[in-house]
């Protein structure tokens, strides 16, 4: 079994989590259980569920106080922009969380430690572990520092606008094309499928996204297309 040394991560964060079993759970992907066929080992989906709720609450509270004149719908868009898959994956890469992921050999060989959806999920699971081990105050500080620190830049760049709508508006305005989406790959069992979707302008693929539904994969693909917009706007 993979044993992680979290010292570099703790040094970066400025605090430690002494519960080794909790940390192992936070970084263990379900694929390990399938490979080892050891149901007694815990994977991180329960912590991910908890961390998602903590992240949403802290983000909502932050936005409520930070933007006192913003209406509900606008704050919802702000929140979506910082809890979406691409942004959380970027947070994971900044912290190097992918280095600690415990994956099956097959998942690791397929580049699992760099997949946006796995990285985003592990951020949420790690937040869940912080909450259980250190309490809400430390979890809130972590989210403020690592997830919400660039909220002003996100809003200034218009990244808080619904990704599919924003992508469509730009594409229609600049290249006179309405985007469409195609499923490129389906992985996993029926109850835990992961979809890979391409975003297209005519025949040109301009973005790729993954998700546990076609809808979330399309949103991820639109977000990816927006990060690459200089390429297709000029192309």
pLDDT digits (tens, 9 = 90+) for 157-180: 766 667 788 788 888 888 899 999
The arithmetic mean of pLDDT across residues 176-196, rounded, is 89
Residue 134 to residue 127: CA distance in whole angstroms: 10
What ranges in the chain are assigned the alpha helix state H? 7-13, 20-27, 30-36, 45-66, 72-83, 85-95, 105-109, 116-134, 136-146, 151-156, 163-174, 214-227, 229-234
The arithmetic mean of pLDDT across residues 8-13, rounded, is 95
pTM of the model: 0.72
13, 116: one domain: yes
Active site residue 45: no
CB atoms within 10 A of CB 57: 14
127, 55: one domain: yes
pLDDT of residue 112: 78
* Mean residue pLDDT across the chain: 88
Give domain status of residue 80, yes or no. Answer: yes
Query: How many domains in the chain?
Result: 2
148, 59: one domain: yes
With tokens 């570099």, the residue in question is 8
Give domain status of residue 2, yes or no. Answer: no
Active site residue 52: yes
Point out the catalytic residue in the list 48, 107, 116, 124.
124
Point out the catalytic residue in the list 25, 48, 52, 223.
52
Tens digits of per-residue pLDDT, 124-165? 999 999 999 999 999 999 999 999 998 888 877 766 667 788
pLDDT of residue 187: 87
35, 17: one domain: yes
132, 167: one domain: no
The DSSP H or E segment spanning 78 is helix 72-83
Instruction: Look up the domain containing 204 and give its range.
Output: 163-234
211, 142: one domain: no
């Amino acid at each position: 079994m993979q044993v992680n040394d979290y010292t570099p991560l703790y040094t970066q964060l400025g605090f430690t989590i002494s519960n080794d079993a909790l940390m192992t759970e936070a970084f263990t992907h379900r694929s390990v259980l399938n490979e080892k066929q050891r149901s007694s080992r815990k994977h991180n989906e329960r912590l991910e569920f908890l961390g998602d709720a903590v992240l949403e609450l802290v983000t909502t509270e932050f936005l409520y106080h930070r933007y006192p004149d913003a209406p509900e719908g606008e704050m919802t868009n702000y929140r979506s922009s910082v809890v979406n898959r691409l942004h959380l994956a970027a947070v994971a890469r900044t912290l190097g969380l992918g280095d600690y992921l415990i994956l099956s050999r097959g998942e690791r060989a397929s580049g699992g430690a760099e997949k946006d959806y796995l990285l985003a999920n592990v951020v949420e699971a790690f937040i869940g572990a912080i909450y259980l081990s250190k309490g809400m105050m430390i979890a809130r500080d972590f989210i403020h520092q690592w997830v919400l620190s660039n909220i002003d830049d996100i809003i200034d760049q218009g990244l808080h606008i619904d990704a599919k709508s924003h992508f469509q508006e730009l594409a229609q305005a600049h290249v006179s094309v309405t985007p469409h989406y195609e499923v490129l790959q389906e992985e996993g069992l029926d109850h835990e499928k992961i979809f890979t979707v391409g975003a297209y302008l005519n025949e040109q693929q301009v973005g790729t996204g993954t998700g546990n539904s076609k809808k979330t994969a399309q949103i991820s693909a639109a977000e990816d297309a927006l990060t690459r917009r200089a390429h297709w706007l000029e192309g």
